[in-house]
Each structure stands twice: as structure tokens, then as C-alpha cells.
Amino acid sequence: SLSLLAPALTFNVDDFGARGDGSHDDAQAFEKAWKEACSAPGAVLVVPKKNYLLGPSAFSGPCQDDTTFQINGIIRASGDQSDYDEDRRHWIVFDGVDHLVVQGGGTFDGNGLIWWQNSCKTNKALPCKNAPTALTFYNCGNLITQNLNIQNAQQIHVSFEKCSDVEATDLHITAPGNSPNTDGIHVASTRNIQISNSTIGTGDDCISIVDGSEDVEAMDIICGPGHGISIGSLGSGNSEAHVSGVTVNRANFSGTTNGVRIKTWQGGSGSASNIKFQNMEMHDVSNPIIIEQNYCDQDEPCKQQKSAIQVRNVTYQNIRGTSASDVAVEFNCSESLPCAGIVLQNINLQKIGGGSTTASCNSIDLECIGLVSPRCS
């Protein structure tokens, strides 16, 4: 006889007092619904097709196994900056939840305009302050995020921090190209994460991968506008950082300020190693391939330092298209700890509108295989 699985327990946020009228803060109703869903195995929290306004919200575990957050509607962030006085770094956080699925085709809208206008990157006269990450997954294992729209984040759109065994697929992340610090997907201290079939266009990195991350795979990514796909920055403030086992496969960059970038500060220690960038198309990209080991994102010049992050075993394979800058390949490696085991294979980058590009290569152990254009002189 066929045994039928019991239907999932569903918890609709409207049943807990959420109005979904776009003007009342429904955070309390969401947190009540979450508390119930979290304590029932296999529960589904449902966000119907309405507009929900939410102030800062934390959905914390541990929960019973297999919790689903099903967002069909729109969740929009409160635009009142005073709502974030207790914590300016986060809007929505999923904290310590294992076996979580967040899905549904709905939208998380960070309502970021007020934050962008008050950013020191927009107005140099203003002090530099933190702004919230729209969606943070912290200390979550066996996590699936799929079929989501995340837009107009206050700063970073989606951050995976201290997570493991993550699938992130069919994410559509958008913000204006001039919105400051609005990275699409940020990966920190996370291992075994696969990002796939996603379209990202923001004012900063499409994907940024920073310290403590290992076994990171990104494939079938459309990136632009934005700053490209970055490993780093690593080693700021003389810190130690490690990133290893990164593969980016099948990516399309359009009009971005970088293609694939590794950026480290002088004075750091640790390594960025075992990295593959393969099967990529660049369209009008300013720095298609770049390793920058003298990265300096501060007002005063960075002083020369001997200590450096080791960049080693990086392969660039099957990358073609057009560069907006004359220098399409730039390896600005550390004099004290040169880049080692760097491979260029089947690279063809022309100047946008025709003409050849050049390569700039400093302090690097480099091997070229097949057609490589431009080549280091």
C-alpha cells in the first residue's frame, strides 16, 4: 500500500496578525509565526502575495528539522533609520537554523535609497557609518535558498556567514549601479557553498568571497552592473586571512568595473589558493583579469609593508570578450611574496571597438597554455 506523507504544517503570517498593507510594521507577527514554525518538524512559514513592511527581524534557531520560509509576496524594509539604532548591520537575519529552505519567488526589498543618500561614498562630507545587510544567514548548516528576488539593499544584499553546505540558486539581485557597497552575494567563513543560475547587478561586487571561506563554487552567473566577482579584500589591518578551493565556471560580465579579481592588502598574512576561473565572457569590462596585492581602500596612502597574503595556484581558462581598458590582464603581485602557480589558458581579450589590449605582470610565476592574448611581455 502507498503511504502518503503527512501534509506539511503551514503557518501563515496573516494568522499571526500581519497586515500586509505596506505601511504597518509586521515584524512582531512574523516573529510569532516563526516561533511556531520553528518548533514544529517540517513546518512551512508562508508569506502570502501582499506587501509586508518589516523593521529589523531575527529568525533564530535551533529549530525542528526541515523548516521552510515560503515567500510569495514582497517584504520591504522599514525606511526609518532610527528603527536600526540597536543594530545598524542587519535587517533580516536567519541565525543558527539547520536544514532551512528559503524560497518562493517573492521579493526582499531593502528600501535602500535613504541609506545610499547618507553614505560617505555618496557624500564625502558625511561620516562613514555601517548600514544593514538585507539578508544574513549566520551559522546555518544544510541551507537552501532558491528562487528569490533581493533588491535595493541598504548595503550587502545577501550574506552567508559561518555557514556550511549551502545551495543558493535562481537568485535575482538588483540595485542601481551607483548604489554604494551593495554587494550581491557575500561569502564569509563559509564552506561548501554552491551559487548557481543567478543574475546579479548592483553597485559593488556581484559576488565577494572573504576570509575563512573554502570550497566555494559559482556557476552560470550573469554579472553587471557592478564590480565583478572578487576574492577579498583580504588582510586589511595586518590581519590573517585564508580562502581556498574557489571555482567560478560559466559567467557573463557586462559593463562591470572588474571581471574576476583577487584583492589583498599589504601587511596581511595567510593565503588565497586553489582557485579556478573558467568559461567566461566579458563585454566592455574595465579590468577583465586582475590580481591586486597592493589594494588600498582608504583616504591616506597605504605604506609599503613586507608581509603579504600568498596568492597561489590560480587558473584562468577559456576567457574571451572585450575590455574597456587598454590593460586587460593585470597581475600586481607582492614583491616580497610573488604570485605562484598562475596559469593562463585560452584567453582572448580585445579592446572594445577593436584593437589589441596589453598585460601588466609584476612579481609573478606564470604559465601560458594555448592562445593567450594579451600576453605578459
| Structural contact between residues 96 and 103, judged by C-beta atoms closer than 8 angstroms | no
Tell me how far apart the alpha carbons of residues 230 and 76 are, in angstroms, rounded to a whole number.
28
227 is catalytic: yes
Contacts of 350 (CB under 8 A, 6+ apart): 321, 322, 323, 356, 357, 373
Q: What are phi and psi of 199, to 5 degrees?
A: -115, 125
| Structural contact between residues 25 and 54, judged by C-beta atoms closer than 8 angstroms | yes
**Nearest CA among 252, 377, 263, 255 for reference residue 325:** 255
Please report, to the nearest 10 degrees, the dihedral formed by the alpha carbons of residues 159, 251, 245, 99 taken in order: 40
Tell me how far apart the alpha carbons of residues 220 and 222 are, in angstroms, rounded to a whole number.
7
204 is catalytic: yes
| Structural contact between residues 46 and 13, judged by C-beta atoms closer than 8 angstroms | yes
Tell me how far apart the alpha carbons of residues 233 and 226 are, in angstroms, rounded to a whole number.
16
| Structural contact between residues 172 and 197, judged by C-beta atoms closer than 8 angstroms | no
Which residues sit opposite 365 in a β-bridge? none
Handedness of CA 9, 14, 16, 22 (dihedral sign): positive
Tell me how far apart the alpha carbons of residues 268 and 232 are, in angstroms, rounded to a whole number.
12
Tell me how far apart the alpha carbons of residues 243 and 311 are, in angstroms, rounded to a whole number.
10
Catalytic residue among 90, 99, 157, 227: 227
**Nearest CA among 192, 210, 264, 203 for reference residue 228:** 203
| Structural contact between residues 55 and 82, judged by C-beta atoms closer than 8 angstroms | no
Scanning 164-307, the segments in alpha helix (DSSP H) are none
Rounded to the nearest 5 degrees, what angle is found at the Cα of 145, between the Cα atoms of 11 and 139? Answer: 90
Catalytic residue among 25, 26, 204, 211: 204
Q: What are phi and psi of 86, to 5 degrees?
A: -70, -30
DSSP code at position 324: S
For the annotated catalytic residues, the residue numbers are: 204, 227
